[in-house]
A and B are shown apart, each in its own frame.
Chain A
C-alpha cells in the first residue's frame, strides 16, 4: 500500500492504494468516477483515455501510484458549467451511438486539438483520422466523430 495525493478534476484526493492499482481502477472503483470506460483492457481501444498533466493517457495502462502530485482530468471534469465545445460538437454532429467509446474519444480529441493549436499546425480531416488511430468505435463508422472534432477545433 502507498499513500498518494493527486488532483482529480480540480479537487485534491488522497488515498492508500495497492501499488498495482491501475489509474482506470483508481478512478472507477476508488473514486466512483465511472465516466472513464474500460473497453479492451489491452491498451488498444482508447475508451479509458483521460488527461494526465494535460496530456492524453490510457488510464488502463498507467499505474495510479506513479501519479503522486499529478493533475488528472476525466470526462466528468471537462465541462465547466456549460458543456465543453467538444462535447457540444459530438452532440450536434451525432458523433456517438451507444456512447461506450465516447468519453475516451472526447478526451483524446481535446488533446489532439490542444496539441495542434499549441504547435500552430492545421488540423485537417486526414490528420484527425490519423490522430484518432488509438480510439476504436464499434458503432458510428467514425465519419460523424471526425466531423465533430473538425467543428469543435474551429471553436476551441
Chain B
C-alpha cells in the first residue's frame, strides 16, 4: 500500500477539514472495499478520514414509521436490529446475507451505497424502498442518488450521515449469489410503497442498479409471484461476464422477482 495519513474525525466539520487538508483524500468506514482497493493500487488516497467515531453516525432509530439508519452502522448491526426487524424485516434479511460474518461486522451501509458497486445489495433495497440519503449538506432521493457504475450524486467532500427509509406495506429481497465473490449475480428487491410497487435490480445492469417498469406495473396491479410470469424482461443493457450472459441474467431477474414477492 502507498503511504497515507490517517485521521480519526471527531465531528463532520472535522472530517471535512481533514479531507480538505489532502490532495486526494478519502473517507474511511469499514474499509472492506477501500482498503482492498488501496492494496491493489487502484486508489492511493494521501489522507484517510475515518468517519466511524463521529457522534450520531452509528445506530438505528425509528422516526414514527420511518427507519433511520446511521451511515456507519454495520451490516451485522442492521441484521440484528429489532427496529429494522419491526419496520422492514426484508432489509435485515438482506444485511444478513452480505458477504461473510467478518465483512458484516466491519462493512457499513454508508460505505456500501457511497461505493455503489453494480452488484451490491443495499442499492437495490434503497432504490426499491424509495429511501432518502441524508448527507451533511442535503437530502437526496434514492432515485437521484445512484447514478451509474460506482458513481453517485455525492460531491467529493460530502459525507453520508444517515439513510431514511419509509416503512413499506410489504417487501422482499431475493439474491442469486455468485458463490466466489458472495455478491449478487442478480438481486431483486420488491416493495409495496405509498406510490405502488417498486422493483429494483442489482447485479445485472450495465449502468448499475435500476428499476423495472414492467415488473412494477404488474406487481402494482397484483402483488403476487404469478403476476411476474406475464412480464417481458429484456436482456438489453444487461451485463455480461464469465459468470452469466445477458439472457441468463434476464431470466434470473424473473426468477428472483418471484422469490422476492413470495418472501
Contact = CB atoms under 8 A, between A and B. Distances in A.
B48 A46 contact: no
Nearest to A66: B50
B246 to A, nearest CB: 27
Say what secondary structure dominates the interface of chain B.
mixed
A56 B102 contact: yes
Nearest to B34: A61
Contacts, number: 73
Given A20-B3, A66-B50, A119-B80, A43 B105 contact: no
Contacts of A42: 36, 39-40
Q: How many B residues touch the partner, as a band?
A: 20 to 34
A133 interface: yes
Contact of B1 (A22, A108, A115, A135): A22
B103 interface: yes
Interface in B1-34: 1-6, 8, 28, 31-32
Interface in A59-104: 61-63, 65-66
B4 A134 contact: no
A41 interface: yes
Interface string B75-112: 00000100000000000000000011111011000000
Contacts of B103: 43, 58, 134
Contact of A19 (B4, B102, B182): B4
Nearest to B47: A19
A2 B6 contact: yes
A101 to B, nearest CB: 14
Contacts of A105: none
Given A42-B39, A43-B36, A61-B31, A134 B6 contact: no
Contacts of B1: 20, 22
Which of A43, A57, A112 has the most chain B CB atoms closer than 10 A to its own CB?
Answer: A43
A49 B105 CA distance: 12
A2 to B, nearest CB: 7
Interface string A103-127: 0000010011001000100000000
28 contacts: A18-B3, A19-B3, A19-B4, A19-B48, A20-B2, A42-B36, A43-B32, A43-B36, A56-B101, A56-B105, A57-B105, A58-B102, A61-B32, A61-B35, A61-B36, A62-B31, A63-B6, A63-B35, A63-B48, A66-B50, A111-B101, A115-B101, A119-B80, A131-B101, A133-B99, A133-B100, A134-B99, A134-B103
Given A20-B1, A134-B101, 19 more contacts: A2-B6, A19-B3, A19-B6, A20-B2, A22-B1, A43-B103, A46-B102, A56-B105, A57-B106, A61-B32, A61-B35, A62-B31, A66-B6, A66-B8, A66-B31, A108-B102, A133-B99, A133-B101, A134-B100
Interface of A: 2, 18-20, 22, 41-44, 46, 49, 55-58, 61-63, 65-66, 108, 111-112, 115, 119, 131, 133-135
